[in-house]
Amino acid sequence: MPTIAGPSSSPHKHIVAARSENTGVPEVNTPRKRKLRSDSAAEVASTAIVTESSFATPMKWKSPRRCAVSSPKTLKKEDSKGKLDSPVMSAVKDRFDCLDVKSKWNPREDDQMKAVKEALHVSKAPSTVVCREDEQRRVLEFVKGCMEQKKAGSLYICGCPGTGKSLSMEKIRQQAEDWAQQEGLPCLETVSVNCTSLTKTTDIFSKILGESETGKKVNGPSSPLQQLQVLFSQKQQSSSTKMMLIIADEMDYLITRDRGVLHELFMLTTLPFSRCILIGVANAIDLADRFLPKLKSLNCKPLVVTFRAYSMEQILRILQERLVELPYVAFQSKALELCARKVSAASGDMRKALSVCRSALEILETEVKGSTEQEPQSPVTEDQVVKMDHMVAALSKTFKSPVVDTIQSLPQHQQIIVCSAAKAFRGSKKDRSIAELNKLYTEICKSSMITPAGITEFTNMCTVLNDQGILKLSNARDDKLKRVSLRVDEADITFALKPSLEMSAVSISSVKSNLSAVKAIAVTHHRPPPSFRCPSSLASLSTTTSLHCNDVSSISRSKLLPPSRLHPIKSSPSPTPSLAADSSVNQLTKFKEAAEKGNLVPLYRCVFSDHLTPILAYRCLVKEDDRDAPSFLFESVEPGLQASNIGRYSVVGAQPTIEIVAKGNVVTVMDHGAVRRTVEEVDDPMMVPQKIMEEWEPQRIDELPEAFCGGWVGYFSYDTVRFVEKKKLPFSNAPEDDRSLPDVHLGLYDDVIVFDHVEKKAYVIHWVRIDKDRSVEDNYTDGMYQLESLVSRIQDQKPPKMPTGFIKLRTEQFGPKLEKSTMTSEAYKEAVLEAKEHILAGDIFQIVLSQRFERRTFADPFEIYRALRIVNPSPYMAYLQARGCILVASSPEILLRSKNRKITNRPLAGTVRRGKTPKEDLMLEKELLSDEKQCAEHIMLVDLGRNDVGKVSKPGSVEVEKLMNIERYSHVMHISSTVKGELLDDLTSWDALRAALPVGTVSGAPKVKAMELIDKLEVTRRGPYSGGFGGISFNGDMDIALALRTMVFPTNTRYDTLYSYKHSQRRREWIAHIQAGAGVVADSNPEDEQRECENKAAALARAIDLAESSFLETPVVTRPRINNVLE
């Protein structure tokens, strides 16, 4: 404990922490807890800590985050004279007897003042880095492990500024070098780079190559990065090759300037013969969310260590460690504690605490110099140390908001208006009219004995406050009807007006006494009393506005409390409260019970969702510029008599822990958790996720909603049928694969967010995979950390700004027609005629022929999805980012649903538009059900569905539950039927999916023969179209939608072009693939089938038109000119 003076005592009485060799004082091991107590008890406790620090008795810190010492369990009772008799006090007395007293502090001495300032300067590196022992240990163990195994590795250190990251890295470097020398290992080659000092971001590779022991020259035919890649891709001849420790500080600079350099830097550690140990340091908490998913997809998963913001106890301890070296006392103990408390609440930045202390020291210096000029010979008093008032002034100078200065400089009446607004909007975000605010303003003025301004002058003052950004006025013809809202925080108003509030009690009492006297005189002389103005500008605001001085401290503290203190990563300043904490499985006892029964246990938080939408939650998890991050958003609108009825649940997920990508029979499995990537050729790729799921024993929690709560999510292409029908439908007979999209892409999502739109709440879910090599408590702790991290990400302190989009219902003038297709109109008609020949020959009864249209657009796929929700709402709406493409879907039909071993197939065929009136709607329904052609097609598809379900169901369990029902959607109505069955005991949902893919509504009947003809008549592979997308839960339940009304945006080809855009300077031109088909039967007309394909594709293109009209401005140049530039 450093040498600090009490509030009213001499520095000599407290100089007990000076370091000494021989003290003869017994060790004091009793820790203490900071709590309210009497002054004498507090003094003894403080002395106990001093003694512990002085005599090298270790203090017992509760945790690295809270370096708070505990309180003594027992204290000696007072003797008859009222003095405390304890070993600690005896030790202090003995110490005073045997130690020389420190020199007296004299702030007038330049050398002493300079020494204190240097001790508090941020550039002075202390001998030890305290309060970061745990973080340093983790990083050092990581470096030691890499050196012992001679393997490369990467570690990412994040945290708020001023949390000891850079200083800790320097200590770790020294410790690693010393440890290597002790263990007889080759010395480390150390490269320390501050990324902000680089002229070019790529210079970091030159520096690394220059420090390499190979001695290769940087300048050569290839770049330094290429030379490093070659160097680490070849086996080194010498077995004693040194490991290289790369410490890249200020890494957040790279992601701002050149993210590619950041990726390549981390990827150096993944090369086969790399010897790099990379430690990246960044002053950001959310930086990992922006680039780690990309690294994970590239088989690079850095270890993440977070340096938390310093707590009050930690800041106080660090300040004391710096001051303990001084031979005199310069700070009062309570002043240091105040500094530590305020800085920890605001940011936890140690550099800020040092700056505040130096500022307080300068205030004291100015004060001492002023008194010296007035009385040069005056002696130095004992209390000329930095006290509470100096620290309060320094804190105010450091943390004062510009808004506070503005409010404090306002005239009296404008201050009253601001205070009236604060009272009017307390606890409410609603606006008020000018008249309502004026009424409250008048009441405050009258209670303060201040003449209020008229309504015209009041409105003018509100306009001035609107111009200054304090109030916000809406437009209205009548001034009294203008709406007023508050733009500044109530805490800023309270803090700004605090001096006036503190004066109010004195002012009111004095005014009232004077007024009483005047009234008495007036009564005697029969004259009315004069109108008095209160000496304080806001004399009675403390009583009329309820902005008490007690509120100031609490409001200020809540305002200064940083988001990082509420959640491990980032969080909202006003975090969403949890609902029914008892119902969530976040208690360790319940977790242990579940862990005994299985190895996959969910943890969840239930939060209010009235401030959050699925769209906003998705954008919080996946940044706008990260189009390669696998993620999904599932929403639903149920069919009904009305245009649409919103589905109960929406599901959002991002950052899968495992990915499966199948192309033909080659399957790539990327395990991001284990940082492992395997590529193998298998007979049936759809068996791979099934085998992985067999390793799990998930524990279903009853409190979770009846929706998808975690598991596999992705798509299955039309060509997955070739895994089953290998002889009749081999890949060699498939049409041209011009896009090279995966046949199957699945991601395993442990983290999902389920929105319950009925109960207005959201379930934030994280599945914990129980590691048997670790204790249940450790699994629980890690799981809760991941869960809280997920919660904090959707409560982002700065929610992502998404384009508002102005919906224009008439969009005919936007966007060109779908003129480009994989088949010309004549070629498609010829294919229809050829198909009819096979039907007449008896080869097939029906076939669905499709063609793929192409549309270029500068609208973003996510914006198009937002538009599609308006243009064509449906039961299966999805925005799915996968490998190689993005799917934007609005499917009306399920491919397969499996729940509790009950499987469902719902053929949907037969379509007619919706009526403009209810009467016309019923008339069109009757016409549809009386259409023999459409009804015959539907019955044929019902038979196909019964056949698909019957392949995997128990005998006698297959039934047609609903036959030829009408389902209404926003623009059309369909004939639908429901076929159900019970799964065979030896089969799983995956077997049912194999039997169903693809359904007859997109192929034909008989299904296999129709698909053989499709291979001959269609010119390109279908890809995701007419396949399926959806989710497979951990318990095996499956809900897969048919990939109809689905747009595919390939992500492997990109075009960066200049384009006028509302919310950015540059846009990417996307290619939207819209595929549509028509059912061909014996009496089909080729013209009608061609028109049907065009109309179906045009319905989806309307979403692109709406997105362009809502989110894009008119191009700077005409579209043909842009195309010419591209060419």
Q: For the chain, what percentages of helix, strand and coil (3-state, to nearest 5) are there?
A: 40, 20, 40
For residue 681, how many other CB atoms are within 10 A of its CB? 9
Strands 1066-1080 and 1055-1058: antiparallel
CA neighbours closer than 13 Å in the CB half-sphere of residue 283: 15
Q: How far apart are CA 696 and CA 712, in angstroms?
A: 13
Please give the C-alpha separations between residue 315 and each of 3, 119, 337, 400, 557, in angstroms, as whole numbers.
16, 15, 9, 21, 17
Q: How far apart are CA 658 and CA 207, in angstroms?
A: 36
The H or E element that residue 820 is part of is strand 820-821
Residue 763 annotated in active site? no
Q: How far apart are CA 604 and CA 851, in angstroms?
A: 45
Q: How far apart are CA 284 and CA 876, in angstroms?
A: 38
Name beta bridge partners: 912: 973
Catalytic entry in 749, 828, 879, 1025: 1025
Query: What is the dihedral angle through the alpha carbons of 600, 606, 607, 609, rounded to the nearest 10 degrees?
Result: 90
Beta strand extents in 474-618 (DSSP E only): 483-486, 600-608
Which residue type does 548 have?
A: H
Q: Is the peptide bond before 411 cis (omega within 30 degrees of 0)?
A: no
Q: How far apart are CA 247 and CA 679, in angstroms?
A: 33
Structure tokens at 864: 């198009």
What value does the CA radius of gyration of the chain take, rounded to a whole number of Å?
Answer: 37
* Cβ atoms of residues 49 and 69 within 8 Å: yes
* Cβ atoms of residues 126 and 85 within 8 Å: no
Which residue type does 495 have?
A: F
Residue 1001 annotated in active site? yes
> Which residue is listed with tokens 């994970």?
296
The DSSP letter of residue 71 is P
Catalytic entry in 969, 1030, 1079, 1102: 1079
- Tell me the DSSP string of 102-147: PPPP-TT-HHHHHHHHHHT-TTPPPSS-TT-HHHHHHHHHHHHHHH
Q: How far apart are CA 744 and CA 685, in angstroms?
A: 8
Instruction: Give me the helices (H) in 842-917, please.
Output: 861-871
Catalytic entry in 1045, 1067, 1073, 1102: 1045
Residue 974 annotated in active site? yes
Catalytic entry in 358, 974, 1022, 1073: 974
Residue 328 annotated in active site? no
> Which residue is listed with tokens 């530590």?
340
Distance in angstroms between the alpha carbons of the first and the last residue of the chain:
73
* Cβ atoms of residues 602 and 710 within 8 Å: yes
The H or E element that residue 947 is part of is helix 932-952
* Cβ atoms of residues 348 and 104 within 8 Å: no
Residue 1025 annotated in active site? yes
The contacts of residue 896 (CB under 8 Å, 6+ apart) are: 903, 904, 905, 989, 992, 993, 996, 1028, 1038, 1040
22: left (phi over 0), alpha (psi -120 to 50) or beta: beta
3-state SS, 21-66, equals CCCCCCCCCCCCECCCCCHHHHHHHHHHHHHHHHCCCCCCCCCCCC
Catalytic entry in 269, 306, 544, 1001: 1001
Burial class (CB in 10 A: 0-12, 13-18, 19+), 296: buried
For residue 371, how many other CB atoms are within 10 A of its CB? 14
Q: How far apart are CA 1037 and CA 1024, in angstroms?
A: 22
Please give the C-alpha separations between residue 570 and each of 156, 657, 801, in angstroms, as whole numbers.
17, 21, 17
Which residue type does 7 have?
A: P
The DSSP letter of residue 143 is H
The H or E element that residue 621 is part of is helix 614-621
* Cβ atoms of residues 584 and 703 within 8 Å: yes
What residues are annotated to the active site? 974, 1001, 1025, 1045, 1079
